Amino acid sequence: MIRKLATTVAILLVSSVAVAADINVAANTANVPFEFQDASGKLVGFEIDLLNTIGKRLNKSIEFTEMPFNSLFAAVQSGRADIAIGSITITPKRLESVSFTQPFFDANQCLTVGKASGIKGVEGLAGKQVAVVTGTTGEMWATQNDAKYKFGGISRYDDNVSPMLDIATGRIGGLVHDCPIDAYYIKDKPQYAIVATIPTNEQFGLMLRKGSPLLRDVDTAIARLKQDGELARLYTKWFGSSAPTGSSTVTVTQSPQP
């Protein structure tokens, strides 16, 4: 009887232990439409769909952990996450410390302002506070061009929604951020306007730690999603238009090297 009871307890203990995911993904979830929570609290978005599709293709389970953009880099470098997502731009500097898959999305930076502000372009930011998301290429651009355009200051945020609210109140002159994200956010908010495109010619990829054994398989999966049109389908689902011909969404390339 005692042996039977002990066996039963052991089975219950084993069955109560959560099964670890095969791939842990760090996600900047305040990042519409790449990754965000819908009205029911479910995690959705272009990159969420991409990772879930990759997981199915590789027969691996996926688990997402939410965190601010500037925490993504430490998460993959420390091994707390296998992959990071958050519309992360591939740059030579970043390739010194992390690895990326081949790019799958092309983007530039845009300046978003309040329509009532009267700001018509980046020159109109002279003497005004400029919002950026910490750790992004928008922050890099604003820092490099601060003296040129004579900004009144640079305000740094952990997400792209908070600066939009500050633009609406007039505390912030404008937000320099990824064009597709901000265009999606303001499409049903007529109080905002994108008044300038800053040609930074960026490409987004999935970020992994240096030497990650996952890189090759994940990169191969992305290539196949491009070849069979699935990635283009996801692009249309989330951005409402066809992926541009010749863009990294439809063109198979190689994983970038430092």
What pLDDT, on the 0 to 100 scale, is given for residue 40?
95
- Per-residue pLDDT reduced to its tens digit, 50-72: 999 999 999 999 999 999 999 99
**Among 6-20, 121-135, 193-207, where is mean pLDDT lowest?**
6-20
Residue ranges matching CATH 3.40.190.10 in the chain? 21-104+205-239, 108-201
pLDDT of res. 21: 85
Residues facing 144 on adjacent strands:
none
For strands 192-204 and 105-114, give the pairing: antiparallel
Q: Where is 97: in which H helix or E strand?
A: none
Coil, strand, or helix at residue 118?
coil
Helix, strand, or coil (residue 195): strand
Question: What pLDDT is stored for residue 9 in this prediction?
Answer: 38
**Strand, coil or helix: what is 68?**
coil
The architecture that CATH gives domain 108-201 is: 3-Layer(aba) Sandwich (3.40)
> Per-residue pLDDT for 1 more than 60?
no
pTM above 0.85, yes or no: no
Domain 21-104+205-239: give its CATH code: 3.40.190.10
Q: Determine the Cα–Cα distance for residues 160 and 31; give it in Å rounded to an integer.
A: 7
